[in-house]
Structure 1
Amino acid sequence: MKLLPGFEEEYKKRHDEIWPELSRLLSERGIYDYSIFLDEETRTLFAVQKLKANADVDNLSEEPVLRRWWKYMADIMETNPDSSPVEKPLKKVFHME
């Protein structure tokens, strides 16, 4: 994902105040230990989340609270026409357990 210039503090503030209903939805769907990192030079955001064995995330993008969150964040990051964040898949080059 990519943050627009000058919105680093606002992005952090909004996530520090994440909506309880969004946090609850993510937890109920099996997402835990969720972190987002910022490359300050490129404004690239990198999210890492762990999923429980029974996680149900296939249709998460259809949830109304998540769609409202996307619209809330759309003014400070690159987005698709539906307000979802522009995401770029990354190629795994290393993993260690």
Structure 2
Amino acid sequence: MIVSSSLERVCFELRVRPERIDEYRARHAAVWPDMLRALRDTGWRNYSLFLREDGLLIGYFEAESAESAMAAMAETEVDARWQADMAEFFEDRPGGGLRRYLEVFHLEDQLAGLAD
């Protein structure tokens, strides 16, 4: 995993059931305020979700430690409620979790290594 400016960058994939995409989008247009605060307070930064029309969902966030941020979030009461409420939207969740991607390139990291 590549780390820059002390933040770990995480990209992950999930699959939203195609027949539930519209409702999934609507739910994310107004996420519960206590969920937003919990994400912030457990160290999730620059968190975004990208949804393709076939249901492929790509997520991205940064954290001092992704493992610590995810573990802290999993311990919150609001996350338990949110996960239970959202579980029906997903086709598969490998081991109940996220299918993470390995970062292989980051522009700023390589630019920082140039000797201009």
Q: TM-score range by the shorter chain?
A: 0.7 to 0.9
Residue 30 of structure 2: aligned partner:
17
TM-score normalised by L of structure 1: 0.77
Runs of 4+ more than 6 Å apart:
none
TM-score normalised by L of structure 2: 0.66
For 2:41 and 2:30, the matched residues in 1 are separated by 19
> Quick check: 2:42–2:72 contact (8 Å CA) kept in 1?
no
Q: Give the secondary-structure state (helix, strand or coil) at the position aligned to 1:66.
A: helix
Task: Give the letter aligned to residue 14 of structure 1.
Answer: R
Residue 5 of structure 1: aligned partner:
18
Long gaps (5+) in structure 1: none
Q: What is the total number of aligned residue pairs between the two structures?
A: 92
Q: Relative to total residues, which structure has the larger strand share, 1 or 2? A: 2
Q: Over alpha carbons, which structure has the higher Rg?
A: 2
Please list, as runs of the form range in 1=range in 2, the aligned pairs for 1:22-61 lying within 5 A after superposition.
22-41=35-54, 43-51=55-63, 53=64, 57=69, 58-61=71-74
Between the aligned residues of both structures, percent identity stands at 30
For 1:18 and 1:3, the matched residues in 2 are separated by 17
* Pairing partner for 1:74 from 87, 95, 99: 87
For 1:77 and 1:2, the matched residues in 2 are separated by 6
